[in-house]
Amino acid sequence: MRIDVLTLFPEMFDSPLSHSILKRAQERNIVEIVLSNIRDFATDSYRKVDDKPYGGGAGMVMMPGPMFDCVEHAQAQAAEPSRVILLSPQGEPLTQEKVVELSREPRLMLIAGRYEGFDERIRTGLNAESISIGDYVLSGGELGAMVLIDAVVRMMPGALGDDDSAADDSFSNGLLEYPQYTRPEEFRGMRVPEILLSGDHGKIAQWRKEQSLKRTEQWRPELYETYRQAESRKNDP
């Protein structure tokens, strides 16, 4: 996969992209991540990319001109057309289901905005979809882009040391992940559940499923209800 990131602050990505899973995935040529500075496509000496909103109001709005030029320049760098995504609090919530869907794309283009947001013609003219990482507002879309990149890349074959790891993650099957334990068997009076020491893989799998159900019902009841209804539909004759 190729991921293009369009941002006013490409240096913000230096650290996240040069460590851990993202670093290894790039070294293994699983993903290519290319940064473009939107300000490079400004047309004035001040490198201006924003202006006051029509109709009045607080803040500044990102202008369509530099953005379109940046997008078109990045698109021309590879033959494969991009799926264009705006990181915006107004967007569709990023879920594990959406992450899996995006991980199957050959190319993504992530646009990280700033200020009060984008001129609406950026969204409509580029046929871009909007994605949000949560119901809160950040200073810009860079952190949202980093979250999306990390979530998507780890789902790609070969990115993790063990491809089965992602299958057990929270949300992968609609439930939160079961509790995990490692050595020592006892720590400050707290013991590892005996079932995990039994070597009986069937009973361990059953215990983990029960714990996932219990944890999801307690911590995320809305997810539990969605899972319960889905299972009920599966079992309908």
Catalytic residues: 89, 116, 154, 169
Query: Residue 56, by phi and psi: left (phi above 0), alpha (psi -120 to 50) or beta?
Result: left
Q: Which helix (H) or strand (E) holds 70?
A: helix 64-75
Using CA atoms of 60, 64, 34, 138 in order, give the dihedral in degrees to the nearest 10.
30
How far is Cα 102 from Cα 153, in angstroms, rounded to an integer? 9
Q: How far is CA 140 from CA 97, 107, 211, in A?
A: 24, 22, 38
Q: Is the peptide bond before 179 cis (omega within 30 degrees of 0)?
A: no
